[in-house]
Structure 1
């Protein structure tokens, strides 16, 4: 019994195949974007971390403060025959009060510097430089920790109510020790950030992809969990990578549209 309807095994409408092939050909024959052009466009997005100049300025201010504090301690606290000079400069303000006020201002500058560093490092983290962010995590807070500990020691010395001579020596000892600890931290931080800015490396994800593409014997990345790993740290790294990949995909889509329009 013959059926008047179309056969189940009848060939498809050639017009449909033709239109489909035309659409596929139009997609294939569209402007292709070279990998080098896209890579160079993404590489131009590198932004330096502008904190080395601020760290250098803070180091200079710290050295100037310690030198001025030594002068105030010698002239006004130890009283080496220059009482009139101290009185003409400071007036009725005590020398130890001037040192404490200066220390409070310096601590505020360090606090402002720490906030600025945190802001710029968070931006570097959002751009995919997770390894750099984690390497500098403890170092960027170290100057503030050192200066806060110095404030505590200064309060202890002032609360002990020692003799004027002994108190002057103790204040200078605390300030000198603080300078010997905080200054190398700032110098080391400056060197690490300048090295990062000079390398202008690609984000961590791009670096890992490059390593896995060209190294057969490469070790697995740290984004997965394996025995002996800190689960909390792995989860935090994965969250960082997911956040970065979202922003990276948005940037990549914009670059694709711009380069397609140019071609």
Structure 2
């Protein structure tokens, strides 16, 4: 009985050694260096083109406010040039033309917001979760500001004020809205251009790089911890899982293409 135990132990040890040898044989061969992978990811980096449309929207907003000031002074307050107003606007009142222009600008802001969300979602699917979350509130601010401006304009129009007071209050709202919206769009443009210039790797690759090469690296914690936001953790994990699925699918396709070539 005593002689069987060492035999069994020896057999188990031999099995473990065989398994370890087989597993080691699977990873034999030339490995791609981390620098090569990082350079390949940077070559495949896709920029976020929304900053160009933010500049166009800013220009149109400035143009609209400038034209609204001219219409208000010349056609509503009637500081001369009344014949020109009639020839340009026809039977449309000056304040009505300003409101129509405001609605058209709001539609452009709505289209811009949809376009921005589309490209930000694409960046999130490519693994840039920090960029997506960092721009979450900023990308919606122009639409919120213009919607708030529309509400204020409606309140001014239905308040029953005199025409002079009404037009001055309307212009004050438009100018204030312009200053705040331009500041938001300018800051948004700066952040997007910085992101495009850095051409960074996805967040997962950056975390792996920091864990492998940081001198003062410490063990990282994964999952929910006391004091953290459970919804944020779950949402971030869902984003990571979605990105890793798409990344694995892309790598599988490339592997099949390389296999077919050889």
Q: For this structure pair, what is the TM-score category when the shorter chain's length is used for normalisation?
A: 0.7 to 0.9
Q: Count residues with an aligned counterpart.
A: 241
Q: Identify which range, 85-94 or 55-64, moves more after superposition.
A: 85-94
Whole-Å separation in 2 of the counterparts to 1:144 and 1:206: 34
Whole-Å separation in 1 of the counterparts to 2:90 and 2:253: 64
Instruction: Go from structure 1 to structure 2 and tell me whether the alpha carbon gap of 1:84 and 1:202 turns closer, same or farther (over 3 Å shift).
Output: same
Name the counterpart of 1:80.
79
Task: Confirm or deny: 8 A CA contact 2:38 2:201 kept in the other structure.
Answer: no
Q: Identify which range, 133-142 or 80-89, moves more after superposition.
A: 80-89
RMSD: 2.4
Whole-Å separation in 2 of the counterparts to 1:240 and 1:28: 29
Per the TM alignment, residue 219 of structure 1 is displaced from its structure 2 partner at its CA by: 5.5
Mark the structure with the bigger radius of gyration: 1
In the alignment, structure 1 segments of 5+ residues that lack a partner are 1-22
Per the TM alignment, residue 223 of structure 1 is displaced from its structure 2 partner at its CA by: 5.0
Residue correspondence of structure 1 range 107-126 to structure 2 within 5 A: 107-126=106-125
Name the counterpart of 2:92.
93
Name the counterpart of 2:251.
252
Per the TM alignment, residue 252 of structure 1 is displaced from its structure 2 partner at its CA by: 2.1
Task: Confirm or deny: 8 A CA contact 1:223 1:238 kept in the other structure.
Answer: no
> How big is each residue's C-alpha offset from its partner over 1:53-86, in whole Å with a ceiling of 9 and x where there is no partner?
0000000000000000000000111111222221
**TM-score normalised to the size of structure 1?**
0.84
Work out which structure has the larger RCO, using CA pairs closer than 8 Å and 6 or more positions apart in sequence: 1
Q: Is residue 2:210 matched to residue 1:211?
A: yes
Q: Identify which range, 157-166 or 184-193, moves more after superposition.
A: 157-166
In the alignment, structure 2 segments of 5+ residues that lack a partner are 1-21
Task: Confirm or deny: 8 A CA contact 1:223 1:237 kept in the other structure.
Answer: no
Whole-Å separation in 2 of the counterparts to 1:139 and 1:33: 42
**TM-score normalised to the size of structure 2?**
0.85
Whole-Å separation in 2 of the counterparts to 1:107 and 1:220: 49
